[in-house]
Amino acid sequence: MNKNLQKLFKIAQKPERLAIGLMSGTSLDGLDIALCSFSGNGMKTAFKLLNFVTMPYEESFKDEVKEVFAKKDSVSLEKVCLLNAFIGSFHAELILEALKNWGVTPSDVDLIASHGQTIYHAPQHQHKKSAYGNATLQIGDGDHIAIKTGIITISDFRQKHIAAGGEGAPLALYGDVVLGSKAGENRILLNIGGIANLTYLPRDGDLTKVMCTDIGPGNTLIDAACREYFNKPFDEDATIAYSGEVNEVLLEALLHHPFFNETLPKTTGPELFNLAYVADAQQATRTLNIQKADLVATLSAFTGRSIAGFIRQHFDNNQLHIYASGGGARSPFIINYLKKALPGTFISNSDVLGINADAKEAILFALLGNEAVCGEPLHIGNNPAVLMGKFSFPN
């Protein structure tokens, strides 16, 4: 028997597993690494976050990824090929560095669950090519991580979701249901990363009522404007947004994207929400000459308004508890906007649930890795009931 299979069999039977979850999101700020321990699986999962770090990416690395990131045309296939191996190997180095800093020996870690780097996301409603279905591409091959770290690695989670009828996202659904459900409380777990998404968890625990979908832009447009006009990677503590004024005419135009009328659940990315989209809306509303701080304020309000509008449209605000996570939860502009626009709701940070708001997505991938090893497909409404991820062995 393949010794790796024997090892995997033993890991699946352990009362407690050590798993690393990796997330490198659309913001391209760095690699989120969460070291977690898990016991059990499915709705009986118990987890602890033992360590978490974001290993920031150097500008030179970001520039390389941006060469192939979310670009519909004219990407070097050679670059994609090179980056697929390079990112896998680079992520492995970052993991080893983090483990060293934490004083954890790699051989003590049972598995790595790696999201990879999304370079293109193409749900059917976006590409509209009738001969093709939903598609998505994450690079940073798992074999490179497994070989370099010596740890069994599970990766490329999104393809199974698509093969089973989904859009490949949001995969937060599965972990949010497992870690976030609570009887007696209508909850929304809201993640504001590059793209904003949410999972609605009803108070009666009825899994047919659970809803998980992308909403629209989170920080992606704000970050892009900050990079373009302020030479800053993002609007730290929303100082730029607060120094400007929201342009209501432009805001209304931005809210008219057809994505907002797509049926649920739906997913999106910077392929749709990018500075070209903003420029078109500015052109149409003759607001190309507004102050750059006003633009950042308007884009921040766009995030706030689209999230609040979505929640008002689909849920009863009364006694609704919203738990925010992702980098956007650190933006006072966005959070205050939501508080004002959603009276009757209780808005707090997912930290209060014991889910570190910065680490949440990396934790969710660690959890998907735990499920891949010892879980069973979770039936949640019409969502694909599959175990996701591909296994890479270290030898």
Ligand X SMILES: Nc1ncnc2c1ncn2[C@@H]1O[C@H](COP(=O)(O)OP(=O)(O)OP(=O)(O)O)[C@@H](O)[C@H]1O
Q: Which does 145 bind (CB under 5 to 8 A by kind): ligand X, ligand AH0, none?
A: none
Residues 202-261, interacting with ligand AH0 (CB under 6 A)? 214
For residues 350 and 218, the answer to whether their CB atoms sit within 8 Å is: no
Q: Which does 140 bind (CB under 5 to 8 A by kind): ligand AH0, ligand X, none?
A: none
26 touching ligand X, by CB under 6 A: yes
Residues 260-299, interacting with ligand AH0 (CB under 6 A)? 267, 269
331 touching ligand X, by CB under 6 A: yes
For residue 223, the 8-state DSSP code is H
Q: Which does 236 bind (CB under 5 to 8 A by kind): ligand X, ligand AH0, none?
A: ligand X
Residues 182-201, interacting with ligand AH0 (CB under 6 A)? 193-195, 197
The Cα-based distances of 75 to 28, 139, 293, 359 in angstroms read 18, 14, 32, 31
| CB of 41 or CB of 191, closer to ligand X | 191
Instruction: Choose, by CB under 6 A, the member of 170, 304, 384, 389 that binds ligand AH0.
Output: 170
Distance CA(298)–CA(311), nearest Å, equals 20
Residue located via tokens 């808005």: 347
- Give the chain's length: 395
Angle at alpha carbon of residue 120, lines to 97 and 372, rounded to 5°: 60
Q: How far apart are the first and last CA of the chain?
A: 14
Residues 128-157, interacting with ligand AH0 (CB under 6 A)? 136
68 touching ligand AH0, by CB under 6 A: no
Task: Give the range of 23-31, 124-132, 303-311, 314-322 binding ligand X by CB under 6 A.
Answer: 23-31
Considering the complex, what minimum distance in angstroms separates the CB of residue 155 from ligand X? 16
Tell me whether residue 18 is annotated as binding. Answer: no
169 touching ligand AH0, by CB under 6 A: yes
Tell me whether residue 32 is annotated as binding. Answer: yes
Q: Which of 25, 270, 267, 277 is nearest to 123 (CA)?
A: 267
Number of other residues whose CB lies within 10 A of the CB of residue 189 = 28
Strand ordering across the sheet containing 187-192: 211-217, 195-201, 187-192, 321-325, 346-349
| CB of 49 or CB of 146, closer to ligand X | 49
Tell me whether residue 28 is annotated as binding. Answer: yes
For ligand X, the nearest residue by Cβ is 327
Q: Which of 363, 395, 381 is nearest to 46 (CA)?
A: 363
For residues 193 and 26, the answer to whether their CB atoms sit within 8 Å is: yes
Considering the complex, what minimum distance in angstroms separates the CB of residue 360 from ligand X? 8
Contacting residues for 78 by C-beta, under 8 A, at least 6 apart:
none
193 touching ligand X, by CB under 6 A: yes
For ligand AH0, the binding residues (CB under 6 A) are 25-26, 118, 121, 136, 168-172, 193-195, 197, 214, 267, 269, 361
